[in-house]
Structure 1
Amino acid sequence: MVSMKSVLLGLGLSAAVAGAAAADTVLRYSEAGPNRGARAKALEYFLDETTRMTDGQLQFDVHWGGALLKWSAALNGISAGAADMGTVIAPYAPKQLQGLAIGDLPIETSDPWVGLRAMFELMTTNAQLKDFLTRENVVFLSNFTSTGTQFECIGDHRIESVEDFEGLTVRATGIAGKALNELGANVVNMTFDKVYQALDSGLVDCAAGYYYTNRALRHYEIVNYISETNWGQVGGFALVMNKDVWEDLPPAHQTALRTAGSNMVDEFARIQLATIAEVKAGLQTGDIGRKVPVVPMAEAERAKLLALTDSYVQEWISDMTARGYDGQGIWDDYTALVAKYTSELEEDGYPWDR
């Protein structure tokens, strides 16, 4: 049974008692993204799985589209109890979520299943990163990934080489934004809900984006080119719960949340890979709603992007070390997990195809 402490800390947490047994618990979930697209499907899968595994004792009241907490307020709101749980993104709380931001550091692969699995295992087994989030009064449950970063451009802008970024106004965040500044781009940092208008009005020439968000947010209506860079993937993108609420849940419910979180990783990867194939094909044929050429970046140019961001890996390691953590050790754990799941994928294929 959930204590009064969590009822007060989590404004949306409600529990009633019928006789000796606890009734259904309703957890308030804050999601700043829209109720459509691949990630929304994965989140609903996670919530449904949790409800199923707890025989309906855990249920959820989801507030979509930032109706409860915007991206910039998500972590503090969940930590303080304005929501019991929700989705957070590292760049919107860079100091508080610096540990989680390891998932935003560029890695060679842009495969969503590899990225998701590596981050999930890292965040649930690495004692230092678990401690890092505990200090923010949240508990990691699962994670999302942006998939490989592409660039959506208006006008006649086609990004085929690193030199093509010079002089462009580009919406980007985090490590990508810092790297693009080095390449001479004028970087604008804004939340995804504002990107459509920014592109449509010409405020930005290009925006870092992803195939699944292109369709979900209808960016295909206004862009003229998709430059396919597959520049790493944003993995500092997590589903977290208020720590006090978590600790007041019975162990069986905690296990259900953890299990559902692990299951969601595979389900989200499966949805993402299917979505990428479908959207990419639809952009090239026009079946998605409008024909938009996809311009692949040559591997030699993509390698330049990855090399450009090596210094930011060292910066993250140094910053974490300065905060009392073993930055190099955490990074080594992460890269070992990326290698582990890359090898597993090469040998066995995706879990749903085995």
Structure 2
Amino acid sequence: MNSFLTGALTAALGFSFAAEVAAEEWNVSVWGKRRAFTEHIEKLAELVSEKTNGEFTMNVSYGGLSKNRENLDGISFGAFEMAQFCAGYHPDKNRLITVLELPFLGVENLDQEVAVSHAVYAHPAVQEEMAQWNAKLLMTSPMPQYNIVGTGEPRTELSQFEGMRVRATGGLGEAFKAVGAVPTSVTSSEAYQAMESGVVDTVAFAQHAHLSFGTINQAKWWTANLNPGTVNCPVVVNIDAYENLSDEHREALDSSVDEAIAYYLENYGKLLKRWDEVLEEKGVEKVMISEDQLIEFRQKAADPIAAKWVEDIEAQGLPGQELLDLVKEELSKAKGS
């Protein structure tokens, strides 16, 4: 009897230990506060926990683990297992995905943004570049075309952009620079203060960010149709952490990506539907730029900036034109479907 009980106790302890070993807890580094921009990450954590009966959990930290511009570095040395960052924060570290931040690519909605982003993420050269940071691209954080909110009198003519201080990063910053504006890359968290103190006259954000970071509360006007482009903000995982997952947990993670993106798109769609109400509530004038001014903007900022991007990327021995062609091809497919 004693032998039987000892054996049973040993087996029970062994099972308990195995269950403990099987449990997985990841730390996820994002910034700001929970908002439309992070809902796919929150949904991903929820789905993974459900699919693994709570054995695989994710702790989403809003600024507690790292600064947003240092998230990729944190991933590289394993400070946390998952993170979100934006390509324009450090284009020298993620050169190839900056193709998605080129101005006036022609992306019209969030579904198209997902399609072109994930096509680029799947390209071998892109994956190889990100692997240098021990990062695996998991999913995008699709955002609509950026538009600017501003102080003072509305700027409806490109000539009024001359000398305009605008918070814009990456390809958007280059686009505004092409028409005489002065871009600055203060972080999203610093944008409100930059407007309030007069460091910038205008801020380029997607709608959710104007709400989340309070820039809409400083604004007198908003450009409804400037649509110069957007930024690309991937969610990445540490390669070592990903490869160390059990087959069951890895499947739970991989199979949850499309569901998380679908939830994100549905949630963001609700925000876009009420955007005009938000402008009215806050007394922000909706400014429409004339078509001839938009054409002039595209002529100055689209092809020249794309051509320069390809030249710079290919000078580094990387497939610039191939990636730009891939974006155009995938965008054409997405529009056709």
Common fold, TM-score beyond 0.5?
A: yes
Query: Is 1:79–2:71 an aligned residue pair?
Result: no
Query: What SS is found at the alignment partner of 1:207?
Result: strand
* CA deviation after TM superposition for structure 1 residue 209, in Å: 1.6
Residue range with higher mean Cα deviation, 334-343 or 257-266: 257-266
Q: Percent of aligned pairs with the same residue?
A: 22
Which residue matches 1:9?
none
Query: What SS is found at the alignment partner of 1:237?
Result: coil
Which residue matches 1:335?
328
Query: Is 1:217–2:210 an aligned residue pair?
Result: no
Cα pair 1:26 1:61 within 8 Å, conserved = yes
Which residue matches 1:301?
293
Cα pair 2:165 2:201 within 8 Å, conserved = yes
Change (3 A) 1:55 1:223: same
Change (3 A) 1:216 1:283: same
Cα pair 1:31 1:63 within 8 Å, conserved = yes
Cα pair 2:98 2:171 within 8 Å, conserved = no
Query: Is 1:277–2:277 an aligned residue pair?
Result: no
- The amino acid of 2:193's aligned partner reads Q
- The amino acid of 2:43's aligned partner reads Y
Change (3 A) 1:261 1:137: same
Which residue matches 2:23?
24
Query: What SS is found at the alignment partner of 1:240?
Result: strand
The structure 1 residue matched to 2:250, chosen from 236, 248, 254, is 254
Query: What SS is found at the alignment partner of 1:119?
Result: helix
For residues 262 and 66 of structure 2, what CA distance do their matches in structure 1 show?
27
- The amino acid of 2:237's aligned partner reads M
Is there any run of 5+ residues in structure 2 with no aligned partner, and where?
Answer: 1-13
- The amino acid of 2:94's aligned partner reads L
Query: What SS is found at the alignment partner of 1:129?
Result: helix
For residues 290 and 257 of structure 2, what CA distance do their matches in structure 1 show?
36
Cα pair 1:110 1:233 within 8 Å, conserved = no
Which residue matches 1:69?
66
Which residue matches 1:172?
168
Change (3 A) 1:128 1:17: farther
* CA deviation after TM superposition for structure 1 residue 316, in Å: 2.5
Query: What SS is found at the alignment partner of 1:83?
Result: coil
Q: When the two structures are aligned, how many residues end up with a matched partner?
A: 321
Larger Rg computed on CA atoms: 2
Which residue matches 1:311?
304
Which residue matches 1:202?
198
Cα pair 1:58 1:253 within 8 Å, conserved = yes
Which residue matches 2:4?
none
For residues 206 and 336 of structure 1, what CA distance do their matches in structure 2 show?
33
**What per-residue deviation string (whole Å, max 9, x for no partner) do you get for residues 137-174 of structure 1?**
10011111331111110122x13232221122211111
CA RMSD in angstroms, aligned pairs only: 2.0
For residues 252 and 233 of structure 1, what CA distance do their matches in structure 2 show?
39
Cα pair 2:30 2:60 within 8 Å, conserved = yes
**Structure 1 residue runs of 4+, over 4 Å off?**
none
Normalising by the residue count of structure 2, what TM-score does the alignment of the two structures yield?
A: 0.88
The structure 1 residue matched to 2:116, chosen from 115, 118, 132, is 118
Cα pair 1:196 1:219 within 8 Å, conserved = yes
For residues 310 and 17 of structure 1, what CA distance do their matches in structure 2 show?
62
Change (3 A) 1:258 1:318: farther
- The amino acid of 1:42's aligned partner reads H
Change (3 A) 1:249 1:240: same
Cα pair 2:170 2:231 within 8 Å, conserved = no
The structure 2 residue matched to 1:91, chosen from 78, 81, 88, is 88
Query: Is 1:226–2:219 an aligned residue pair?
Result: no
* CA deviation after TM superposition for structure 1 residue 61, in Å: 1.3
For residues 260 and 292 of structure 2, what CA distance do their matches in structure 1 show?
34
Change (3 A) 1:269 1:163: farther
Which residue matches 1:147?
144
Query: What SS is found at the alignment partner of 2:287?
Result: strand
